[in-house]
Amino acid sequence: MEFEPEIAFRLFLSFLIGTVLGLEREYRSKAAGLRTMIVICLGSTIFTEISLSIGGASPDRIASTIITGIGFLGAGVIFKDGLTISGITTATTIWISAALGMAVGAGEYFIAVVSSIAVLIVLTVFEKLKMWISEFHQVRIYKITLKNEASFQHSIELETSKLKLSFRLERDIKNETNQLLLCEIAGRRERLDKMNEFLKHDARVKAYDY
């Protein structure tokens, strides 16, 4: 066994990149946090190193499977709760973490470092930008369960008009006991919160979520 400074540096840099990305995800209490990102980034670097070391007619054969394999990990952190899907950003962070590890393993330090900075900017600065935009405009898909109140659709159209919100009915479903409205309402966050209050206090509304 020989000590190879170049490979040691690559593994250290991969560890450092995984740590930075993992700390950001850990800070936001995401499913894939510090340890997950470090292991993914280091693992990708190791696989890439082994692939290049083995060489042969196709030295990238091991590294290419990382792209497929990492998809299974990413899919595991995506959750669907009612009409809301969460975990997509964490899944893409897992994906880019593997890509950065592969870049380090291949000796592409410039790509790895610059891309890491870009990813960190997207995850931190752009998160604040996203929150700022959401204050001015949001689109919510409401699922409203009614007690067979056919007149409610007109009421909600009047309320959204009064609050200066856009309204679009997606589906209107009725069964033996309830009527279900699936509608898209968009506008400023504070006005959407007022719409929530309207739905909470209307006796015709049995339940709602978005």
pLDDT in tens, 19-46: 988 888 888 777 667 888 888 888 888 8
Backbone angles phi, psi at 145, to 5 degrees: -100, 125
Given the structure tokens 């020989």, which residue do they identify? Answer: 2
Q: Residue 167 has what pLDDT?
A: 94
Q: What are the pLDDT digits (tens) for 162-171?
A: 999 999 998 8
For position 83, what pLDDT does the model report?
A: 58
pLDDT at residue number 58: 66
Residue 63: the pLDDT is 67
Q: Is the pTM of the predicted complex or chain greater than 0.95? A: no
- All domains of the chain in start order, with CATH: 5-134 (no CATH), 137-209 (3.30.70.260)
Nearest to 140 by CA among 178, 189, 89: 189
Evaluate if residue 72 carries a pLDDT over 80: no
* Exposed/middle/buried for residue 10 (C-beta within 10 Å: 0-12, 13-18, 19+): buried
Residues contacting 54, CB < 8 A, separation 6+: 62
Summarised one tens digit per residue, pLDDT across range 83-133 is 566 777 888 888 888 888 888 888 888 888 888 888 888 888 877 877 887
